[in-house]
Amino acid sequence: MKITVAKTDRPSGLTLIPVSDSSQQKNQYSLGEGEWIISENDAKRELHFYFDDSKNAAELADAGRLLGYKTSKFWGSDAAIDLKGVKNTTPFLRGLFMADYDLGFSKTDRVEKSEPALAVMGIEDAEHQIEIAKVEAESQLKAMRLVDLPRHVKTPEYLGEEAMRSAEKYGYSCEVWDCEKIQNENMGALHAVGKGSENPPVFIICRYHGAPNADKTHLALLGKGITFDTGGLSIKPSTNMHYMKCDMAGGAAVLASIELAARLKLPINLVAVVPSAENSVDKNAFVPGDILHSYSGKTIEIIDTDAEGRLALADALAWVRKNENPDTIIDMATLTGSSVRTLGYEAAALFTTDENLSKTLVESGMNTGDKLWPLPLWKDYDSYIHSDVADVSNLPLKPLAGSIAAAKFLEVFADNHPSWAHIDMPGMSFKDSPFAKTKSGTGYGVQLFADFMRKTIEKF
């Protein structure tokens, strides 16, 4: 999608005009949610669409995306949109930028379409707003595309290469550890997850220094990067296993977020870490009953090889805690089905003992539509990760509170960091939408982290 500032207030082509409940056109066209109509009179073509300026940023972005998705084929050349009087234009423009995202990148009969173009009228500082919306949209689309790519393309190595390409293009640093380096660094948990695959694991570390005068890391974002999850020897049922290409959605959000920070030149020092592996089955795969030696030095009893994401994150958390010691650590992962059973597809589960961090993240979630809600990390749940033979087990023997148990496991490796949060978000990262007939990536977390970074910067 190409969006520019209009050079004239009298466009020669189709003009898109928002219709609110209070506007005069509402009585003429009686439009409702998601509805639009094209009119022609006096050689003028206008597309009137329903618009509710009271919606939150995510709803406005969804409205913009759906409008572009449904109507861009009618725009023709020299189309314009008049947003005079609209209060919150940036998220709506972000949605328009996302309107032509196409899931069919592997179709052999795919027809390349001309890029839709739209000129914006009626808003102040239009060029700046368009640029912000474009970066936010492209960052979210990056996360969506990474999630939607198939397993044979999106290997751990590919994820590392993608991170390196972005860092080189947008001016931040990135290093990618290979399997040998992972072993040499004693990351026994991450290595165990990936050793059953022909595609070896990688450990991705990206750093962006937007506040060079501050001699510290303000924020560390960690994302689970399991590029495909069969469940390992504790193999998943075949039904919907093809959806497990989405098991790196947390990693995708983290990589997209550091790219966004660099492109917008946000004044924050940020590190993004993605432990990436493919959880597969072969003679080298790790086995229930194994005892793993993690980077932290703690041992882990394997109860179930399908609880692998927390193993990869355990090494990442311990590494960040020891080597970066940031003010705040947030990890994001498609970790448990339990979080979906608890909160459905409406919110991710949030775990933290830092009340201020919890409040800020919940506010950012409500602002952006990337909603999340706190669940407890009480000591009452410590027994859920007990092991008789190791320091901790990777799965509770009780078939209860699975999301809480996973968070309690990660808490061990966060090692009492005063401002750590874990976000469990499988239900939000990959779901049904008006833009596809099956589930697809949402880019959850990118706008959440963008808003959270801005709030963090305001406190400096």
Containing structural domain, residue 264: 134-458
pLDDT at 44: 85
pLDDT at 114: 85
- Clarify whether residues 359 and 412 are in a common domain: yes
13: nearest Cα among 81, 100, 93: 81
- Clarify whether residues 291 and 222 are in a common domain: yes
CA 47 to chain centre: 33
Query: Nearest 5°: phi and psi at 86?
Result: -80, 130
pLDDT at 25: 55
- Active-site residues, by number, are 236, 310
Give me the half-sphere count of Cα atoms (radius 13 Å) on the Cβ side of residue 383: 4
**Residue 411 burial (CB count, 10 A):** 21
Alpha-carbon distance of 439 to 176, in angstroms, equals: 30
Q: Using 50 as the pLDDT threshold, list the residues of the chain that sit under it.
A: none
Q: Which helix (H) or strand (E) holds 66?
A: helix 57-71
Alpha-carbon distance of 91 to 155, in angstroms, equals: 32
**pTM, whole model, 2 decimals?**
0.96
For the record, the structure tokens of 339 come out as 């979080």
Structural domain includes residue 128: no
- Clarify whether residues 115 and 212 are in a common domain: no
- Clarify whether residues 335 and 205 are in a common domain: yes
Cβ density class 149-171: b for 16+ within 10 Å, e for less: bebeebbbbbbbebbbebbeeee
- Clarify whether residues 92 and 168 are in a common domain: no
- Clarify whether residues 282 and 391 are in a common domain: yes
- Clarify whether residues 41 and 157 are in a common domain: no
Alpha-carbon distance of 281 to 270, in angstroms, equals: 35
Q: For the domain that residue 419 is a member of, what is the CATH number?
A: 3.40.630.10
Alpha-carbon distance of 212 to 267, in angstroms, equals: 8
- Clarify whether residues 287 and 403 are in a common domain: yes
- Clarify whether residues 152 and 15 are in a common domain: no
pLDDT at 199: 98
Q: Which one-letter amino acid corresponds to residue 87?
A: K
Task: Convert the pLDDT of each residue in 430-454 to its tens digit.
Answer: 999 999 999 999 999 999 999 999 9
- Clarify whether residues 99 and 139 are in a common domain: no
Where residue 288 falls (left for φ over 0; alpha for ψ -120 to 50; beta otherwise) is beta
Q: Quick one: angle between helices 89-97 and 57-71, nearest 10?
A: 40
For the record, the structure tokens of 362 come out as 């919940």
Distances (CA, A) of 145 to 112, 248, 358: 17, 11, 29
pLDDT at 362: 98
Structural domain includes residue 47: yes
pLDDT at 7: 87
Q: Which of 121, 153, 171 is the last residue of a domain?
A: 121
Alpha-carbon distance of 415 to 237, in angstroms, equals: 35
Alpha-carbon distance of 324 to 176, in angstroms, equals: 16
Alpha-helical (H) ranges within 123-282 are 126-148, 156-170, 179-184, 188-194, 249-263
Beta bridge partners of 49: 18, 36
Alpha-carbon distance of 264 to 247, in angstroms, equals: 28
